[in-house]
Amino acid sequence: MSSEWQECTLGDFVRLQRGHDLTASQQQPGNVPIMGSAGPNGSHSKALAKGPGVVIGRSGASAGRVHFSEVDYWPHNTCLYVTDFLGNNSRFAYYLLKTIDLAAFNSGSAQPSLNRNFLYSIPLNIPARNIQDQIVETLEALDNRITLLRETNTTLEAIAQALFKSWFVDFDPVHAKMQGRAPEGMDEATADLFPDSFEGSELGPVPKGWRVERLGEVCSYLNRGISPKYLEEGGVLVINQKCIRDFSVDYSKARRHDKAQRKIDGRQLVVGDILVNSTGVGTLGRVAQVLTSNEVVIVDSHVTVVRAGGKLSWPYLGQWMTRQQPNIEAMGEGSTGQTELARSKLSVMPILVPSVDALRLFDEVVTSLKERIAVNEACVSELAKLRDTLLPRLISGQLQLPDAQQNFEEAL
C-alpha cells in the first residue's frame, strides 16, 4: 500500500451523531431538506446541519443506506449524520461509506439498528486529501453525466406529455377550430385531422367521431406475471415492483428466473408494454413503460403488463396511463399490507380512442422522443455500471486514477 494511504478506523475518518426528532406538527414550510434513513423526506424551515453533508440510515429497512446532501439540512432521528469530516473530502466520505455493508453492523436488536460507536471500529484505508479530491473529481464526472441524461429525459417526457394533454385532454385544436381560429403551431393539413365539434360521452364532451372504450377492449394483453423461481446467474430477467419508479424501469434492481423450473411462454415483454405495480402499500399503482429490451424480460406476479392492441398505439397508451397513475393508485382493494389491484379494475377503465389519423400524427412526434429517451436510459445504465465498478476499486486503492479516467473517457 502506498505511503499516501493510511490505515485507520471509521471513527478516525468522520464523526457521527444521531439525528433529531421532528414531528409532523413541528414541521414548518421551508426549503430545507429533511434527511432520513431513506434519504430526502420532505422539507422544513430550519437546518440543523451544514451542507454538504452525509447521512446513514440508522434503523429499519433502510439501515445502512448512505445519502448525500449538497445543502444545509435537517438530519432526522432515523439517521446518523456526519458532524465532522476531520479534514476529509465530504463527497469522498459519501462514496467510501457506500462501499461498506453498514447494515451488517447491526447493533443486535430485533429491529435493524446502527450504533455509531459500533461503526467507529470499522477498519479503513484512507488516501491523502489530494488523492481523495482526484477520486471525487472522476466519480462526480460520471454522476454529473448521469444526472444530465436523466434531466434531459425529464424534459423530453414533459414535451410528450404536454402534446398529449393539448390534443387528447384539453382538445386545443378542436376548440380553436370551433372558434374559427387556426390551431396554434399547426399547419392546415395537420389541423384537418381534428374535428371542429364535440359530442357527449361518459367522459364528458369528446371530439366528434372519436369514441370511448374500455381499456381491456383496446389491449392485446393485460395480465400479471408469474411467481419466479429465482437463481443468481443465467435465466431470464424478472422485473419486480422495486424496478418501477418515476415512470421508468430500473433494470439494475431486477432479479433472474430459472425458466427450466417454470415456463415463460408468451410472457416476454416487448417495447411499448406498460407495467403497473399491483400489490402493497406505497408502490401500488406506479406506472412505467418499457422503451428498450436487449434480452428476454418478464415480470413477477406483483406487476401487471398492459399492451396496446390494434385500436391504439403504444406511445398513446403510455402517455394515457402515465396521466392515470393517481387514479390507478386509488383503485387498490384489501386490508393494510395486503392491498391488491385487480386486473378486472384496470380492464374496465374508460379510455378515449382518437381517430386513426390523429394517432398516427401523435406517434410520429412522440416515437422519436421515446427513442431518444431509450438511448439516454441505456447510456445511464452503462455509466452507472461503470461508476459502481470503479467506485470500490478506486476507494480501496486497487485501481489507479489514470486507468479509471481512461475507462471514463472511453465510456463517453
- pLDDT tens sequence across 149-167: 999 999 999 999 999 999 9
Return phi, psi of residue 195, to 5°: -70, 170
119-148 burial by CB neighbour count: b if 16+ within 10 A, else e?
Answer: beebebebbeeebbebbbebbebbbebbee
pTM for this entry? 0.83
Reported confidence tier of residue 1, pLDDT bands at 50, 70, 90? very low
32-36, strands of its sheet edge to edge: 39-44, 32-36, 74-75
pLDDT reported for residue 408:
62
pLDDT at 109: 59
- Phi, psi (5° rounding) for residue 247? 65, 20
358 near 167, Cβ under 8 Å?
yes
Averaged pLDDT, 12-29 = 92
Q: Tell me what the mean pLDDT of segment 2-18 comes to.
A: 89
Return phi, psi of residue 186, to 5°.
Answer: -120, 140
Contact 356, 170 (CB under 8 A): no
pLDDT tens-digit map of 247-267: 889 888 899 999 989 899 899
* Per-residue pLDDT, 404: 66
Structure-block grid coordinates of residue 286: 406506479
**What is the 3-state secondary structure of the chain?**
CCCCEEEEEHHHHCEEEECECCCCCCCCCCCEEEEECCEEEEEECCCCECCCEEEEECEHHHCCCEEEECCCEEEECCEEEEEECCCCCHHHHHHHHHCCCHHHHECCCCCCEECHHHHCCCEEEEECHHHHHHHHHHHHHHHHHHHHHHHHHHHHHHHHHHHHHHHHCCCHHHHHHHCCCCCCCCCHHHHCCCCCCEECCCCCCEECCCEEEEHHHCEEEEEECECCCEECCCCEEEECHHHEECCEECHHHCEEECCCCCCCCCCCCCCCCEEEECECCCCCCCEEECCCCCCCEEEECCEEEEEECCCCCHHHHHHHHHHCHHHHHCCCECCCCCCECCHHHHHCCEEEECCHHHHHHHHHHHHHHHHHHHHHHHHHHHHHHHHHHHHHHHHHCCCCHHHHHHHHHHHC
pLDDT higher than threshold 90 for residue 328: yes
pLDDT-above-90 percentage for the chain: 70
Q: Dihedral (C-alpha) 324, 223, 252, 147: value to the nearest 10 degrees?
A: -20
The average pLDDT across 100-115 equals 78
d(CA 188, CA 351): 28
Tell me the per-residue pLDDT of 186-198, one tens digit each, with 9 for 90 and over: 899 999 999 999 9
Tell me what the mean pLDDT of segment 309-337 comes to: 91
Look at residue 397 and tell me whether its pLDDT is greater than 80: no
Rounded to an integer, what distance in angstroms lies between the CA atom of residue 382 and that of residue 237? Answer: 17
Task: Quote the cell numbers at residue 96.
Answer: 467510501
pLDDT digits (tens, 9 = 90+) for 200-230: 999 999 999 999 999 999 999 999 999 999 9
pLDDT at 106: 79
At 335-372, the pLDDT tens digits run: 766 789 999 999 999 999 999 999 999 999 999 999 99
Label residue 80 by pLDDT band (50, 70, 90): very high
